[in-house]
């Protein structure tokens, strides 16, 4: 996988993680892994990276009478980073959307040119 694509996917995963942490700071890494559909090792790597950059702060708390869990909180820098990442993610997805719309128009024109009935190739 090219480095830029790998970095882009990692940024998307980090953004999704930041959003989940903001929604549910008490969520365990195992729960994050399940909710985000990424491995537990990747969750651990991303959380440690976010902590290392000062975007997430970790606190201990008691989840039950005998079990200690972690609370992940976004720092002010983490909130700022979430906003920045969301902007870039939205810009990237908008560009992808526009490219897909153009490709769909081209494919519809090809189908129409090859004589397919209009109802079969007009997907909206």
* pLDDT of 122 strictly over 90: no
Query: In this predicted model, which residue has the larger pLDDT, 7 or 25?
Result: 25
- The pLDDT, as a whole number, for residue 69 is 82
- The pLDDT, as a whole number, for residue 115 is 81
Give the domains, in start order, of the chain with CATH numbers: 3-116 (1.10.10.10)
pTM above 0.85, yes or no: no
- What DSSP string runs through 33-56? HHHHTS-HHHHHHHHHHHHHTTSE
* pLDDT of 9 strictly over 60: no
Tens of pLDDT along 66-111? 667 889 999 999 999 999 999 999 999 999 999 999 999 999 999 9
């Amino acid at each position: 996988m090219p480095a830029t694509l790998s970095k882009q996917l990692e940024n998307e995963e980090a953004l999704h993680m930041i959003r989940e942490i903001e929604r549910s700071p008490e969520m365990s890494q195992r729960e994050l892994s399940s909710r985000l559909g990424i491995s537990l090792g990747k969750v651990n790597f991303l959380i440690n990276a976010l902590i290392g950059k000062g975007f997430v702060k970790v606190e201990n708390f008691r989840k039950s009478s005998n079990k200690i869990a972690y609370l992940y909180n976004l720092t002010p820098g983490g909130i700022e980073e979430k906003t920045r990442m969301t902007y870039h993610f939205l810009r990237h997805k908008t560009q992808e959307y526009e490219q897909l719309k153009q490709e769909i128009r081209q494919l519809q024109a090809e189908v129409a040119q090859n004589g397919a009935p209009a109802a079969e190739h007009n997907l909206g």
